Amino acid sequence: MIAVDTNILVYANRVDSPFYVQADACITSLAESGASWAIPWPCLYEFLTVVTHPRIYKPSTPLKEACLQLDYLLQSPNLHLIGEDAEYWVGFRELIESSKITGPQIHDAKIAAICLQNNVRTLWTCDHDFNRIPSLKVINPLVAIH
């Protein structure tokens, strides 16, 4: 199963992004493929944070519009929203200690640990920090489709 990171979601929803066309095609291909795919819950929250932030986008996406974008995305019948369960801490701690992850990369490690805990082995992202986690296959689909 493939999981999608925040940056792909943002690029697929901001027409002013230089990666809009590629990212939108990636999300559409997942949604229409019939295969299971996933979004970690923290990526949904981060999506809302980024697209509605007036210092990141001018104009920022109105909250109602951003929520409608997610509502539309969540209609994909083969989409799974994934998150932590009671055993999450053990895997997360092992991941950050074995990969020597600290500071701002902890958030990315959280996403990676959620993926691994939910049997997701491939993450689509543009963020190179995930490459520090050898147990997770990281693909930048915006480069791969060229």
Task: Enter the pTM of the model.
Answer: 0.92
Domain residue extents for the chain: 2-144
pLDDT tens-place string over residues 18-30:
999 999 999 999 9
Q: Which of 3.40.50.1010, 3.40.395.10, 3.40.640.10, 3.40.720.10 would CATH assign to domain 2-144?
A: 3.40.50.1010
Maximum distance among all alpha carbons in the chain? 41
In whole angstroms, give the CA distance from residue 20 to residue 44.
18
pLDDT tens-place string over residues 34-83:
999 999 999 999 999 999 999 999 999 999 999 999 999 999 999 999 99
Q: Considering only CA atoms, which of 122, 119, 143 is closest in space to residue 5?
A: 122
